[in-house]
Amino acid sequence: LHGIASTLPAALVALVLGCLPFLVLVILSFTNFSFSLPDRSGRWVGFDNYERILSDSELGAAVLRTGLFAAIAVSIEAMLGTALAFCVWLRGGRAKLCVLFLVLPCLLAPVTAGLLGRLLFHGDYGPIAYALQRIGALPGGTILGDTTLAFTALLLLDCWQWTPLVFLMVLVALHSIPQGLILSARIDGASTGRILRSIVLPIIAPTIGLAAVIRFLDAMREFEKVFYLTGGGPASSTEVLAVYSHRIAFDHGNVAYAAAIAVVGLLGTLVLTRLLLTSARRILL
């Protein structure tokens, strides 16, 4: 009991720091507060902002785009990361230095990754765009100015940055498999393929699942990379949910509407997290 009492102040601080902003957010979402209004005063408007969400077709498109982006990116990252982890694991001790290089991208600040991508893909002075132009594979002359190519560039950049995360998590799981297990299977006459299928895969499957869940939820809130790679363009072809709501809140100054979107987004996240975690647990364990 003493332990609880002595940590009560800290728990209280944690609660206040965590809950006060949330309370402000919910209250804001029921007003028409806006930074672009001259007097900056908000009036209670009830559920107006929430009704607007239902009829906002731009928002719907952004949500779909985000889902598409997350689904494609995570599938590629999960497969590639697992494959890489297997390669390094099978090579044993000789591959340790390459772990460092493989891990680096996912530790970079996302804003650095976004700006770096812009540097590489830029139509006027980006080396990738230049190379594609030289071999004539870029009729439009631009990557980030083309709706499909910009989305592809975004996917590539995300895979470059986050495949290492899956790789790292799976590699750790692979290393936690007791050697004796594999040895005894081998003594019993199991082939390498059989060992991979019946021993290794069941052990690392939950880790792959967890990595995919974490990556999926993270991709759904992707902001900085998109914001600085394309800024949501061209013609909102890469405008994911986070970029859209950021534009509403800080470019249009419509804080109240952005707050309503955030509240709905938060509820969606809670449901999605719970669903993904339980279904992943049911399938994989």
Partner 1 sequence: MFRPTLENIRAEYNGVALADLVRNSLIIASVSAALSTIIGAAAAYGITRSSARWASNLFWLVLSSRMAPLTVFTVPLFFMFAYTGMRGTYAAVILAHTVANLSLSLWFLWRAFGRIPRSLEIAAQIDGATPFRAALSTTWRLSLPAIATCYFLCFVLSWNEFTFASLVSAADTRPITASLPAFMAQGSSQWGAFAAVASLSAFPTLILAALIVRLFRANPANHQSLEGAAIG
Hey, which residues between 26 and 55 contact partner 1 (CB under 8 A)?
A: 28, 33
What sign does the dihedral 231-234-240-246 (CA atoms) show? positive
Nearer to partner 1, 127 or 194 (CB): 127
Which residue, 160 or 228, is less far from partner 1 as judged by CB?
228
Query: 128, 134 in Cβ contact below 8 A?
Result: no
**Cα four-point dihedral sign 239, 25, 270, 17:** positive
Q: Using the rule CB under 8 A, is 252 a contact of partner 1?
A: no
Q: In this chain, which of 169, 200, 208, 212 binds partner 1, going by CB under 8 A?
A: 169
d(CA 160, CA 107): 12
Where does this chain touch partner 1 (CB under 8 A) — which range of 48-56, 69-77, 115-123, 152-160? 115-123
| Residue 125-154 contact track with partner 1, rule CB under 8 A, x = bound | x-----------------------------
> Which residue type, as a one-letter code, is found at position 68?
L
- C-alpha span between 2 and 277 (Å, rounded): 34
Residue 80 touching partner 1 (CB under 8 A): no
Tell me the closest approach of the beta carbon of residue 10 to partner 1, in angstroms: 3
Q: Is 159 in the site for partner 1 (CB under 8 A)?
A: no
By CB under 8 A, what part of segment 87-106 binds partner 1? 96, 99-100, 103-104
Q: State the first-to-last Cα distance of the chain, in angstroms, to the nearest integer.
A: 36
Alpha helices per DSSP H over the chain: 2-29, 48-54, 57-91, 96-107, 110-121, 127-134, 147-175, 179-187, 192-195, 201-220, 224-229, 241-246, 255-284
Q: How many residues bind partner 1 (CB under 8 A)?
A: 71
Query: With contact defined as beta carbons under 8 Å apart, do 106 and 113 qualify?
Result: no
**Window of 78-86, 136-144, 146-154, 259-267 that interacts with partner 1 by CB under 8 A:** 259-267
Interface with partner 1 (CB under 8 A), residue from 22, 197, 235, 281 = 22
Give the span between the Cα atoms of 91 and 165, in whole angstroms.
19
Task: List C-alpha distances in Å: 231 to 3, 61, 235.
Answer: 49, 16, 10
Map the footprint of partner 1 across residues 192-251, applying CB under 8 A: 211, 214, 217-218, 220-221, 223-224, 228, 241-242, 245-246, 249-250
| Binding test (CB under 8 A) with partner 1, winner from 269, 279, 281, 283 | 269
Does 275 engage in binding with partner 1 (CB under 8 A)?
Answer: no
Q: How far is the CB of 191 from partner 1 (least distance, A)?
A: 25
Residue 64 binds partner 1, judged by CB under 8 A: no
Which residue number, 44 or 191, has a Cβ lying nearer to partner 1?
44
